[in-house]
Chain A
């Protein structure tokens, strides 16, 4: 089944594919990602393509878009009651000091040579300790028989068994072919930048150096490899006399 199916990116013309290629790769890569909050429009394209790339069953998400507002369709509002349009795309942060890995009783959660935190489903006993330990809440559990929009998923990665935990792999299966993760490639606003943190000339490292990059819950000491580039400027706000008085 999986032989017949190809990644959407392979169906693209060469010029389009170039955008989805890893720019530089050092001798010992350490993969990381930056999410440009100035560019993110909260469209959920990355979340949906992640589901399709990784055969994430119905009801589960490895990657989702959060907002400071009261609900999904009601983003945060600024002090004048206008929409702030501030989104936080959230998936596994691939921490250097991953709390989930420390507590796993069978070493099913492990970090590969390139810094990616992965789950070996063969060893997962389903104790969900990693889910209690993850400060970001990005892990999901297989609570029952998985259902997919198409039978057996899209076939690009193996499906996961009932009773095991899964999460973002940074599309580790694509990296060997120099392809960036699906969420990066599919972002219409080009808000995601993937690259090698060990390659100083990579676009990722350059951006992290030139922009105000923050990580989530820095005070927890997890050292994530996903950073959020803070917006440099805001739309100038014209406060009317009426708004100022209220």
Chain B
């Protein structure tokens, strides 16, 4: 492999100036759309979203759950490989950690537009109420983000201090388990929502995080490989493919035990909310999740072409979308059916709005705008990370 001068790479990366300019322009435009939507929403109140007193959490919380989940990838590749003593993912370390840092930072940022009064968010820091899982999550996400940044700092030293990396791997694994568990407990500890109130929710969040996090690393590595001198290699792809299959198997198993137990012997409120997924209003999303987000990618991975990087990347995209659909299902199955469901229902909340015993939710264009902004924010961090941390050090590994 030829040696690449780090400064030269930083200036010309990713090698195709025209594509690069277009990409940066798209990201900047996305950030502007998101910021504008957020400011507009802030000035008008959350009434400009599709939310109501029945569906109090929507797209922002789906995105939050999803982003916390996809942050798992960096950890598996760095800490997991470090602890089991494999070196086949070593050259993916920096890329994986960049993905994690981007996901956690964006997840934390997603909470802000969900608040009715973002100007008072600081109250959570100065007077945290310690029994609230939201406070636990804020703390553990902060620690997790710090770990990611420290990891990235260690990985960009030359030579990489092996001992420091090992210590970080040991520290970060329990924190990662906590991040996904605490995020699950925001929902899982509520007696008011039988569908969330299952001990399986934390393990399910962990398995979904492993699936989507690993898929994200696969997809990001594949794209980076296509547009920069970055190389992944067949051995790394083969390892990631095997990991993905195991993680999907675990995820499907947990989902199956949850559905099985509830369907056969769940208490009525829990069962009713599951029925929304199986046969009710969310059935199209649920069955697409199972078909297109799980079955199809697994078949692709097991097929004869499953070892090709392109097949792997497409399967990764499908798996990520499947986990996103799963987040939608988890959130809304519980919200569509309040425990006290008597007529006329819960007041809509705005002048002229009716009571709503049977609520539907569609995100408004403001929420879509904010989501575009958050996606751009995530991609900007990944792009900068690849340009500043991944490419300049890549040649040292190969």
Contact = CB atoms under 8 A, between A and B. Distances in A.
Contacts of B349: 59-60, 140-141, 143
Interface residues of A, number: 56
B131 A132 contact: no
Contacts of A158: none
B16 interface: no
B46 interface: yes
Contacts of A216: 340
A147 to B, nearest CB: 5
Contacts of B53: 60, 131, 137, 139-141
Interface in B105-145: 111, 114-118, 120-121, 123-124, 127-129, 131-135, 138
Interface residues of B, number: 53
A165 B53 CA distance: 10
A171 interface: no
A131 B114 CA distance: 14
Contacts of A104: 129, 132
Given A132-B56, A132-B57, A144-B47, A57 B351 contact: yes
Interface stretch (A3-11, A65-73, A227-235): A65-73
B46 A126 contact: yes
Given A104-B132, A143-B47, A220-B191, A125 B350 contact: no
B174 interface: no
Contacts, number: 169
B347 A66 contact: no
Contacts of B190: 99, 103, 132-133
Contacts of A141: 46, 53, 56, 116, 349
Interface of A: 57-61, 64, 66-72, 74, 88, 90, 99, 102-108, 123-129, 131-137, 139-145, 147, 161-165, 216-217, 220-222
Given A61-B347, A71-B343, A136-B340, 7 more contacts: A60-B347, A99-B191, A125-B116, A133-B192, A143-B46, A162-B117, A220-B191
Q: What are the 5 tightest A-B residue pairs by CB atom distance, in nearest-first order?
A: A126-B116, A163-B116, A144-B47, A143-B47, A66-B342
